Amino acid sequence: MTELARKALLPAGLQDVLPGTAAREAEIREKLMASLAHAGYDRVKTPLVEFEESLLEGAAPELSTQTFRLMDPESRRMMGVRSDMTPQVGRIAATRLVDAPRPLRLSYSGDVLRIKGSHLRPERQFAQVGAELIGVSSAAADTEIVLLALEALDRINVPFVSVDLNLPTLPVRLFDAFGVKGDQREALIEALERRDVAALKGIDGKVTDVLVALLEAAGPAKTALPKLKKLELPLGASDELYRLIDVAERVLASGLDAALTIDPVEMAGFRYQTGVSFTLFAKNVRGEIGRGGRYRAGGASGEAATGMSLYMDSILRGLPDGDAIVRVYLPLGTPQHEARQLRLDGHYTVAALEGAAEAKTEDGARVEARRMGCDYIYLGGQVVPLSA
């Protein structure tokens, strides 16, 4: 390995974001945040690091295993680097904004860091853009957060978006209703996560037929809904299923251009959700571009809430490259007031500096402008194409 390569080497899952890509990410991130703001979501900013106990209070267990920890030299207390921003927003809602009117609508944007990447997302540091709707539990709120995500993605022209609606609490409700416990429960969960109908049918119990019917009903909403409406479930489980159906019908009626599928027993990645949840996908993009769902802000005894997070790295993979920035080269001697005016007029400028390797001629300035990646040059008070 050369010395240059050694200096450029980064830990697995971390990367430098270079010119062009970094600007594109910032542009898209701000467009997403603007979409959330127009829907009434107020922006908050959370710290990158905070005390471990407050960072992980109420968070999903898997977030604890994904959190980098370090000792605070000031307080001698353990701190964690955020691996997800949702628990932090929940903490803000439960403390600093405890007296704010409900429903409380908050948005956020920032990088998170995780101990391990996944097969579909090997990146360990990536940017999130998200929103939380706190203090209300209704189908209207569940629908709002789904449509909020779709509208934001539509604003930045992500093509061929699809939503997979889930109800990860439904299997648990059914296990409780049918008295399924211990090893049998774990075996059923494992079979559900593998989508293994044969394994489900091989496990004795009344709940098996219901789970198989739910699994086989999964698919595009327009075909899944009639099947789901025909199912008879125990009290409690049926209420949750009706909520899922209600949200699906509201999303379909919204008119937003996105494919909607329903998988009522999907549990993977939703262990801390408490109701209707969803995953967002885009055509030709590996893995999800976002996910969300219902949970308790601040832990099991916290407020009812629903929210969503969009993943910038995945979203950028689903978008075409942005337009290149057109720059104007300012030769040596360009008056500062003229350079300022060009920037005020919306031009992007690159100024020659003393000692720049350019000749004291127009031809030399044109050569230097091309070398610096400019498309235009400022000559005689005019912006002139380099091709002219």
Give the span between the Cα atoms of 147 and 320, in whole angstroms: 23
Same domain membership, residue 141 and residue 79: yes
- Whether residue 314 is contained in a domain is answered as no
pLDDT at 120: 77
pLDDT at 298: 77
- Whether residue 199 is contained in a domain is answered as yes
Same domain membership, residue 5 and residue 93: yes
pLDDT at 158: 95
Give the span between the Cα atoms of 292 and 148, in whole angstroms: 11
- Whether residue 273 is contained in a domain is answered as no
pLDDT tens per residue across all 388 residues of the chain? 799 999 999 999 999 999 999 999 999 999 999 999 999 999 999 999 999 998 988 666 678 899 999 999 999 999 999 999 999 999 999 999 999 999 999 999 999 999 998 887 889 999 999 999 999 999 999 999 999 999 999 999 999 999 999 999 999 999 999 998 999 999 999 999 888 888 888 888 889 999 999 999 999 999 999 999 999 999 889 999 999 999 999 999 999 889 999 999 988 766 678 999 999 999 989 889 999 999 998 777 789 999 999 999 999 999 988 888 999 999 999 999 999 999 999 999 999 987 655 657 888 899 999 999 999 999 999 999 998 7
Same domain membership, residue 175 and residue 155: no
Beta-bridge mates of residue 71? 78
Same domain membership, residue 153 and residue 27: yes
- Comparing CA positions, the residue from 41, 45, 57 lying closest to residue 133 is 41
pTM: 0.92
Same domain membership, residue 373 and residue 237: no
Give the span between the Cα atoms of 237 and 224, in whole angstroms: 17
- Whether residue 361 is contained in a domain is answered as yes
pLDDT at 359: 57
Same domain membership, residue 152 and residue 74: yes
Give the side-chain half-sphere CA count within 13 A for 372: 25
Same domain membership, residue 294 and residue 340: no
Same domain membership, residue 291 and residue 344: no
Same domain membership, residue 11 and residue 112: yes
Same domain membership, residue 8 and residue 99: yes
Helix (H, G, I), strand (E, B) or coil at 159: coil
- Whether residue 241 is contained in a domain is answered as yes
Helix (H, G, I), strand (E, B) or coil at 101: coil
- Whether residue 315 is contained in a domain is answered as no
Please tell me the total count of domains within the chain: 3
Same domain membership, residue 179 and residue 155: no
- Supply the DSSP symbol for 335: -
Range of the domain at 175: 169-268
Give the span between the Cα atoms of 48 and 111, in whole angstroms: 8
Same domain membership, residue 245 and residue 334: no
Task: Tell the burial category of 283 from Cβ atoms under 10 Å away from its Cβ (0-12, 13-18, 19+).
Answer: exposed
The contacts found for 204-210 with CB under 8 angstroms, 24 or more apart, are: 205/178, 205/180, 206/178, 207/174, 207/175, 207/177, 207/178, 207/180, 210/174, 210/178
- Whether residue 347 is contained in a domain is answered as yes
Helix (H, G, I), strand (E, B) or coil at 274: coil
Q: In this structure, are residues 45 and 96 in contact, taking their beta carbons and an 8 Å threshold?
A: no
Q: Determine the angle formed by the axes of helices 170-178 and 237-253, rounding to 10 degrees.
A: 160
pLDDT at 270: 64
Give the span between the Cα atoms of 20 and 27, in whole angstroms: 10
Give the span between the Cα atoms of 226 and 217, in whole angstroms: 9
> Domain containing 32 — which CATH number?
3.30.930.10
- Whether residue 279 is contained in a domain is answered as no
pLDDT at 59: 67
